[in-house]
Copies of this chain bind each other. A is one copy, B any other.
Amino acid sequence: MLSRIKNASSVAARALPRPSSATARMMSSSPSSQLVEPREPHVATSEIPGPASAAALKRLAAIQDTRAASFVADYAKSVGNYIVDADGNALLDLYCQIASIPVGYNNPALLAAARSDQMATALVNRPALGVFPSADWADLLTESFLRVKPKGLDMVLTSAHGSDANEIAYKAAFMHYARTRRGAKSFSAAELDSVMDNKPPGAPEVAIMSFSSGFHGRTFGALSTTRSKALHKMDIPAFPWPRAPFPQLRYPLEKHAEANAQEERRCLEEVERILRTNPVPVAAIIVEPVQSEGGDRHASPEFFQGLRAVTRELGVLMIVDEVQTGCAATGSFWAHEQWGLDSPPDMVTFSKKMQAAGFYHTAELVPDQPYRNFNTWMGDPPRTLLTRAIVEEVLANDLPAHVRDTGAYLLSHLQPMSVRYHRVVANVRGSGTFIAFDCPSAEMRAELLHLMRLEGVNMGGSGETSVRFRPMLTLTKTHVNVFLTRFESVLNKLYRKHWPQ
């Protein structure tokens, strides 16, 4: 069945090492005796979505909007780094449910967690964690989130998803801001009177500052800090919160070192100006280690050190949004570990590959009264059981080191391709396997992604014209080779079509 033979004489294929047997064993990701990861992609339909996917989407369209759907997946048959669709096509998945599958489809360790008695109990008896936590909750938090807690942040407030995680971090910031001004006093009569009318002083005019091109979620508070695309925000009321410029670095970095440093200084000066002069006081800033939805925009450790310095100087909290960068994708468990900060961020938010969401913080950010940063469920014990298994997989197999190795290998092949195919592939950049490049236009990107899918590789875009790699942490050099062969084939097709000789 895996009969689509690819051209083996490509630039990429020439330098393909075999993975070590230890790596192969570690990364085999075969979830059960039935499922084995295919050796290469298999595409049997002339279009994706194929007929079975199209029929399933047509049925689904009567119930939910399906216009964003790429295809319909058969998750029971998907395995490791391969997603299988309803037509039986097996695609190497470098997009991974918008960067949120950490260690492979049907990972055996996760399946064991899913089939445990503890999981069944957690699923059918969903607690209101703030009021009636389960007896195993402290252990579970310790064995999952706390096992990988960022340095200096010992507490974790759990939530449902990344947008939610950012919003509870914002609420913690606003309550902290108010307490630093109110001190030990009770709420005033004026505050109590005004708050139910959504008016100051009870519902104060105070802000979270975010960065141009940043993405922090879609709920109303999170969306007010999201600045990725107009379509994400259009027609939705937003809080009058400020945005600062995020550095627009030029590539290759070595060639533009001075200009990039100047750009980062300019942005830091603008951050300081906003924090000092914004008409609405800023309680916290939020920043991604790599702006992800906004187009894989990076900045240097020095830039983030500068942010930490200015926020500490001005008493503004610093929230690092690791929803997409967290869980080892950049080669360290948290991307911000690579900044070498001399004091930790005040809060770090997470979701996606962690499969459960929340934010890390210090005891200082616990509100002064209970029930303030509160809701019915307050977190997700079944997903936290998965987080525990994910963290164990990541640490036991040293996946951060593996990701650094695989990422370096991928980058080392992408960079020469961006020279050879410079009309399609520009600004190759990344850290770990959190890699991207830019296409010359949104149309060219769409064409490339479509052709890659037909070649058996599922990829996604970010920003207006970027292609992002968001593979699983278990991606190996063998998978990279599968990608490279097909990528070169697609690039040749694009060149033949758009630049015929």
Least CB distance from A443 to B in Å reads 17
CA distance in complex: A243, B126 (Å): 33
Q: A105-B124, A114-B124 are in contact. List 16 more A-B contacts (CB 8 A).
A: A63-B141, A64-B155, A73-B132, A75-B134, A97-B128, A100-B126, A107-B124, A110-B123, A111-B124, A114-B123, A163-B219, A203-B233, A203-B237, A205-B237, A219-B220, A219-B221
Q: Please indicate the chain B residues that have their CB under 8 angstroms from the CB of A142 in the complex.
A: 63
The 7 closest A-B pairs by CB, nearest first: A220-B221, A67-B370, A198-B238, A178-B235, A160-B160, A203-B238, A75-B125
Q: Mark A359-394, 1 if CB is under 8 A from B, else 0.
A: 000000011011111111100001000100000000
Interface residues of A in 88-147 (CB under 8 A from B): 97-98, 100-101, 105-107, 110-111, 113-115, 117, 119-135, 137-138, 141-142, 146
Contact of A154 among B62, B171, B207 (CB under 8 A): B62
- A125–B105 touching, CB < 8 Å: yes
19 contacts between A and B (CB under 8 A): A59-B138, A63-B141, A64-B157, A72-B133, A97-B132, A101-B125, A160-B161, A163-B219, A164-B164, A171-B236, A187-B234, A191-B230, A196-B230, A196-B243, A197-B243, A219-B219, A219-B220, A220-B224, A220-B239
CA distance in complex: A206, B199 (Å): 16
Known: A132-B83, A134-B73, A164-B160. A195 touches B60 (CB 8 A): no
- B198–A224 touching, CB < 8 Å: yes
CA distance in complex: A364, B309 (Å): 50
The answer to whether A5 has its CB under 8 Å from any CB of chain B is no
Known: A157-B64, A204-B235. A219 touches B114 (CB 8 A): no
CB nearest neighbor in B for A107: B124
Q: Please indicate the chain B residues that have their CB under 8 angstroms from the CB of A128 in the complex.
A: 97-98, 100
- B161–A375 touching, CB < 8 Å: yes
- A237–B195 touching, CB < 8 Å: no
- A192–B133 touching, CB < 8 Å: no
Q: Please indicate the chain B residues that have their CB under 8 angstroms from the CB of A198 in the complex.
A: 224, 233, 238-241
Q: Please indicate the chain B residues that have their CB under 8 angstroms from the CB of A203 in the complex.
A: 233-238
- B220–A170 touching, CB < 8 Å: yes
Interface residues of A in 194-230 (CB under 8 A from B): 195-199, 202-207, 212, 217-222, 224, 227, 230
The answer to whether A56 has its CB under 8 Å from any CB of chain B is yes
- A234–B195 touching, CB < 8 Å: yes
Q: Mark A238-267, 1 if CB is under 8 A from B, else 0.
A: 111101000000000000000000000000
CA distance in complex: A204, B205 (Å): 18
The answer to whether A86 has its CB under 8 Å from any CB of chain B is yes
Interface of A is mostly: loop
Contact of A206 among B74, B158, B233, B237 (CB under 8 A): B237
CA distance in complex: A146, B63 (Å): 9
The answer to whether A479 has its CB under 8 Å from any CB of chain B is no
- A135–B74 touching, CB < 8 Å: yes
- A68–B376 touching, CB < 8 Å: no
Q: Please indicate the chain B residues that have their CB under 8 angstroms from the CB of A57 in the complex.
A: 133
- B114–A230 touching, CB < 8 Å: no
How many residues of A are in contact with the other chain, CB < 8 A? 127
CA distance in complex: A105, B156 (Å): 27
CA distance in complex: A352, B230 (Å): 33
CB nearest neighbor in B for A227: B196
Q: Which of A66, A122, A187, A196 has the most CB of B within 10 A?
A: A196
Q: Please indicate the chain B residues that have their CB under 8 angstroms from the CB of A60 in the complex.
A: 133, 137-138, 141
Contact of A167 among B138, B202, B220, B386 (CB under 8 A): B220
The answer to whether A8 has its CB under 8 Å from any CB of chain B is no
Q: Which of A63, A66, A107, A157 has the most CB of B within 10 A?
A: A63
Known: A64-B155, A146-B63, A370-B65. A56 touches B124 (CB 8 A): no
CA distance in complex: A335, B118 (Å): 34
The answer to whether A22 has its CB under 8 Å from any CB of chain B is no
CA distance in complex: A59, B199 (Å): 39
Least CB distance from A148 to B in Å reads 14
The answer to whether A44 has its CB under 8 Å from any CB of chain B is no
The answer to whether A1 has its CB under 8 Å from any CB of chain B is no
CB nearest neighbor in B for A385: B123
CA distance in complex: A436, B266 (Å): 60
Q: Please indicate the chain B residues that have their CB under 8 angstroms from the CB of A191 in the complex.
A: 230, 234
